[in-house]
Structure 1
Amino acid sequence: MSYQLRREEVVDAAGLRAMLEHSPGQAAQAILAAAGQGVLEAQLLLGQILLDGQGIEADEVVARRWFGIAAQGGSAMAHNMLGRCLEHGWGGEVNLAQAAIHYAHAADAGLDWGMYNLGNLLATGRGVPANQAQALGCYEQAAQLGHAKSMNLYGRYLEQGIATTASPARAVRWYRRSAEAGDFRGMFSLALVLVERGEVAEAGPWLERARVEGNLNFLRSALVTLQGAGPVLEAFAARYAEEIEQHRF
């Protein structure tokens, strides 16, 4: 039986998002109906729930299609999500050059995630010529908007003097902002700097939070760093190794 959308159910996207929390199946029907009626935010939401399989059977192909429809309607986040589909091959072939175009649309519209994702392509030369100065600009813009992951990367560019004059003091400030905003990589970056300063007591809690909150790829790369960082961090390296073992099961 098809879901009959009532006008009051599409007053704002917040209502649909709230419905997803407590009644994902009903929310999915409402979102599907609203998307079919041309509600831009519902089209974006439909792409997301199809990608995640939230309240509806996951379908990356159809998710990509709805992100494309919402992007054509002018949704900056839809451009960003379409870029991610193109970058990672969700619902179709990988096309990094097209991903960069959609990230650029999102970034030009002022979306921090678009700036961050475009910065990553520019930093690595995937889909676009490598350009560290432009990558730095993307990360800085996103960091200024409060994007936690970009704060950490902007800090790294400042610490290492990539495409800019090195400024360790400014780097630490951005690492701290990233860590306090909840980015586990920012926590790790801040902790390493604190250890270098001899401020191990403050570094410890940040290393522990990063260990608990970080994903498996992060844990593996962090472990390599910790294992080569001297005796002060040996105990943390052991805990990171244990965490990686737990992620295997």
Structure 2
Amino acid sequence: MKRLIAVIVIWLAATNAAFSDSARITWEWYNAAEMHQGRKAAGPADQRLAAHYFRLAADKGNIAAAYKLGEIFENGQGLAPDPIQAFQWYMKAAARNDKHGQLKVGWCYQKGIAVAADPAIAAIWYRVAAENDNIWGYHMLAFMLADGEGIKKDVALARRYFERSLPKTNDHWAKWKLAQLIEAEDPKRAKLLLKEAAEAGNAQAAEELKRIDLKP
């Protein structure tokens, strides 16, 4: 695992070096795209123009635009949905050290979107994103560590990553999972987390609460 992480880090560095420092950063196009995308009454024409301007900027090396273009292809906003194109643009952003693109590449590998599902590679990309200060990278890694998915199971590290990410994500699934991990040690806090998750609409957390309440 460590060796593969090192290979990816070296590849990222090499890819970044391959881009010319003189490449035009087309923030005018990027800003025009955001303007069309963010209009209150944005319709199909605005969405198509946003996609057009993001594409112009991305083709000239703007990594933020590359990530946005990946989202557009993923969600079908202004362009027909195309998971392969979405993955390719996410990868281009990830290769330029964009932490959001790195997270999305991990997600694609975990869920088998446009690539063969490979949880081990997904875990590596989540770690790269986390080390690049993407809090959702820690969030996703925590689940994989808790379940031993694509990575050696490590409940202690999973707990640490949940504790690190939850204050910012406030994700009800993370609360549900963390409650499971700490129930034996801290049943009071586990119940509180389950209650918060259930109130956020998590049906599994609600079921867990019933189970705990029925305990003698």
Whether the aligned pair in 2 keeps the contact of 1:148 and 1:183 (CA below 8 Å) is no
Q: Structure 1 residues 161 and 70, CA, compared in 2 at 3 Å: closer, same or farther?
A: same
Q: CA deviation at 1:188?
A: 4.4
Aligned equivalent of 1:105? 92
Pairing 1:64-103 to 2, within 5 Å after superposition? 64-103=51-90
Write out per-residue CA displacement over residues 91-126 of structure 1, whole angstroms, 9 at most, x where no aligned residue. 121111111111001111111100111111111111
Q: Percent identity?
A: 20
SS at match of 1:156: helix
Q: 1:228 aligned to 194, 207, 210, which one?
A: 207
Distance 1:117 1:46 in 2: 24
- Does residue 147 of the first structure (1) align with residue 134 of the second (2)? yes
Name stretches of at least 5 consecutive residues in structure 1 with no aligned partner.
1-37, 213-218, 235-249
- Which residue of structure 2 aligns with residue 128 of structure 1? 115
Tell me, in whole angstroms, the C-alpha distance in 2 between the residues paired with 1:97 and 1:187. Answer: 33
Give the alignment's Cα RMSD to 1 decimal. Answer: 2.6
1:159 has 2:146 as partner: yes
1:131–1:207 Cα change, 3 Å: same
AA paired with 2:114? G
Whether contact under 8 Å (1:106, 1:115) holds in the other structure is: yes
Letter in 1 for 2:185: R
Q: Is the 8 A contact 1:152 1:189 kept in 2?
A: no
- Corresponding residue number in structure 1 for 2:28: 42
Name the structure, 1 or 2, with higher relative contact order (CA <8 Å, separation 6+).
Answer: 2
State the distance in 2 between where 1:163 and 1:104 align: 20
TM-score normalised by length of structure 1: 0.66
Q: What is the CA–CA distance in structure 2 between the aligned matches of 1:146 and 1:166, rounded to whole Å?
A: 23
The Cα offsets for residues 122-170 of structure 1, whole Å up to 9 and x where unpaired, read as 1111111111111111111111222122211101111111122100000
What letter corresponds to residue 195 of structure 1 in structure 2?
Answer: E
Number of aligned positions between the proteins: 187
Letter in 2 for 1:115: Q
Residue 201 of structure 1 is matched in structure 2 by: 189
Q: Residue 53 of structure 1 is aligned with which of 29, 39, 53?
A: 39
Q: Which structure 2 residues correspond to residues 10-49 of structure 1 after superposition, within 5 A?
A: 40-49=26-35
